[in-house]
């Protein structure tokens, strides 16, 4: 297992450098002159040249890449022209909110998707199966922002059960940051009222964001469970009088979880992308909104910073899933 983990950590490092290289290349061969944008529309050629020097844009590309790489690993992602803050500081402000939203959405998708998929497989072609598949198909068919709007209209405006948008009330006291995650920090600081409020705020956007992933997880898990339940080793377990619950929930589920995990990893990336829409609808102060606004203003550094961060979270999530594979399947663990 140790070798398995070490190999994947090394791979993670390589992938990170690859990600930075691709991002850097795209942003530097793309049309548009960052120095010109930074200098403003009325700048003279000399002024642009000065800025070019200041930002190091006159150096050869490989040199620039090397410098950028060094900066990134020191936590320096440059400065946003729009907000005039360091990009790192901005991201630290916005990213935890996105991470929290995606985290809660993923938990919803997994904790409902896996058991529902399992139930649908066990009661294949019966009423429960049809009902679950109906939920699954509807979740895919509804676009996230549309579902978000419907939830707002119905649950917030009509029923008044949950807040309409935002991460927390303006007047509510925020906890001293520890992890920068509002839900976690308010719990750690013992501010349960804040936690309750933050939780109420996250439910609707998380549901909207989780819908496509939920559908995908149900579908994959159902199909895998059906296949696994036809395997010979299930006959063995049945023939020896092992209870149906244990057979389904332990023996079969563990086998079915391997492809399901792959789907979860993939969906994590899609969700991070999907936050842009959901954050817009729910006025969620996250990194998606920040990146979009920066891009609209040709503000390169924050876009690169946000892309890097989202890309890196995606890689980390898939790293975690790789490790989970190894934990689930002894054959993979040994293959290294």
Partner 1 sequence: MAEPAPLLEIRDYSLSISTFDGVLKVLDGINLSIAPGEAVGIVGETGCGKSITVKSVVGLVPSPPARVEAGSVRFDGRDITSADEATIRRIRGQEIAMIFQDPMTYLNPLFTVGRQLRDVIQAKDRLKPQSERRDKRSIQAKAVELLSQVHLPNPERQLDAYPHQLSGGMRQRVLIAMALAGAPKLLIADEPTTALDVTIQAQILDLVKDLVERLGMAVLVISHDLGVVAAICQRIVVMYAGTVVEDATTEALFENPKHPYTRGLLAAIPRLDGSADSLASIAGTIPNLIDPPRGCRFHPRCAEAGETCRQAKPPSLEGAPGHWVACHIYGGGVG
| 243 burial type by CB count under 10 A (0-12 exposed, 13-18 middle, 19+ buried) | exposed
The one among 25, 243, 283, 316 contacting partner 1 by CB under 8 A: 243
Burial 221-230 (b: 16+ CB within 10 A, else e): bbbbbbebbe
Nearest Cα residue to 173 out of 152, 153, 189, 149 = 189
Shortest spacing between CB 258 and partner 1, in angstroms: 8
Query: Hunting for tokens 């403003």 — which residue is that?
Result: 40
**The Cα angle at residue 266 between residues 265 and 270, in degrees rounded to 5:** 120
- Residue 227 interacts with partner 1 (CB under 8 A): yes or no: no
Query: Distance between CA atoms of 74 and 53, rounded to whole angstroms?
Result: 22
Q: Name the residue nearer to partner 1 (CB basis): 98 or 255.
A: 255
Q: What is the DSSP string of 167-213?
A: SS-TTSPPPPPSSS-HHHHHHHTT-HHHHHHHHHHHHHHHHHHHHHH
Query: Hunting for tokens 């029923």 — which residue is that?
Result: 159
Q: Name the residue nearer to partner 1 (CB basis): 130 or 254.
A: 254
Shortest spacing between CB 116 and partner 1, in angstroms: 22
- Residue 262 interacts with partner 1 (CB under 8 A): yes or no: no
Q: Name the residue nearer to partner 1 (CB basis): 17 or 235.
A: 235
- Residue 138 interacts with partner 1 (CB under 8 A): yes or no: no
- Residue 255 interacts with partner 1 (CB under 8 A): yes or no: yes
The one among 14, 84, 160, 331 contacting partner 1 by CB under 8 A: 331
Q: Name the residue nearer to partner 1 (CB basis): 22 or 235.
A: 235
Q: Name the residue nearer to partner 1 (CB basis): 91 or 118.
A: 118
Interface contacts to partner 1, rule CB under 8 A: 231-233, 235-243, 246, 251, 254-255, 328-331
């Amino acid at each position: 297992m140790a070798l398995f983990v070490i190999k994947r950590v090394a791979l993670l490092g390589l992938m990170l450098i690859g990600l930075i290289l691709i991002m850097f290349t795209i942003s530097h061969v793309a049309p548009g002159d960052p120095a010109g944008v930074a200098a403003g529309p009325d700048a003279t050629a000399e002024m642009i040249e000065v800025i070019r020097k200041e930002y190091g844009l006159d150096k050869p590309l490989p040199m620039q890449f090397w410098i950028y790489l060094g900066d990134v690993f020191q936590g320096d992602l440059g400065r946003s022209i729009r907000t005039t803050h360091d990009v790192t500081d901005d991201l630290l402000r916005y990213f935890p909110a996105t991470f929290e939203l995606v985290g809660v959405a993923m938990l919803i998708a997994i904790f409902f998707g896996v058991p529902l998929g399992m139930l649908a497989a066990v009661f294949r072609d019966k009423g429960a199966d049809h009902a679950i598949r109906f939920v699954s198909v509807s979740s895919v068919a509804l676009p996230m922002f549309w579902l978000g709007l419907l939830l707002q209209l119905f649950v917030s405006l009509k029923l008044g059960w949950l807040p309409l948008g935002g991460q927390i009330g303006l007047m509510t006291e925020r906890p001293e940051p520890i992890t920068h995650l509002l839900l976690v920090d308010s719990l750690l600081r013992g501010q349960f009222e804040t936690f309750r409020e933050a939780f109420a705020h996250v439910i609707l956007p998380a549901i909207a964001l989780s819908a496509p992933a939920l559908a995908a997880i149900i579908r994959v898990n159902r199909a895998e469970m059906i296949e696994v339940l036809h395997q010979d080793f299930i006959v063995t377990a049945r023939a020896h009088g092992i209870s149906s619950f244990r057979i389904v929930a332990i023996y079969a589920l563990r086998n079915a979880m391997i492809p399901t995990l792959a789907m979860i990893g993939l969906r994590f990336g899609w969700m991070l992308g999907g936050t842009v829409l959901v954050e817009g609808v729910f006025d969620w102060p996250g990194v998606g909104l920040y990146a979009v606004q920066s891009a609209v203003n040709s503000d390169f550094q924050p876009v690169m910073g946000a892309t890097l961060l989202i890309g890196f979270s995606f890689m980390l999530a898939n790293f975690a899933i790789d490790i989970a594979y190894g934990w689930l399947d002894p054959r993979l663990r040994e293959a290294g």
